[in-house]
Structure 1
């Protein structure tokens, strides 16, 4: 599956698997935007929930 990550002026589409954790996605994003993983916050747009690093995408209904 692909997820869309939106920043202020740029949108990224990242290929991922539902079994991957949020931390895995942040590490992929780090290679694209060179922003440290600890400085990233991923928010599920449909609910406004902040995704937890240790949970999988499936656990968080992404």
Structure 2
């Protein structure tokens, strides 16, 4: 499966498995955007729910082609 992670005017297509955690997705994003995992927050757009790092995508009800918003903590 894949998810779309949107940040400002940029969309990242992330290949992932339902068993992966939100933290795994943040690590993949870290490799792409060079932002520390601790400064990232992922929000499922359809529900507005913040994705917890320790839960799997399946537990968080993230489905294939889901849109996830990425917010970054200001330093």
Could you state the TM-score of these two structures normalised by the residue count of structure 2?
0.82
User: 4+ runs of 1 displaced by more than 2 Å?
Assistant: none
CA distances 1:24-62 after superposition (whole Å, capped 9, x unpaired): 000000000001000000000010000000000000000
Unaligned runs of 5+ in 2: 63-75
* Coordinate RMSD, CA, aligned: 0.4
- Give the structure, 1 or 2, with the largest relative contact order (CA under 8 Å, sep 6 or more): 2
1:9 CA displacement: 1.7
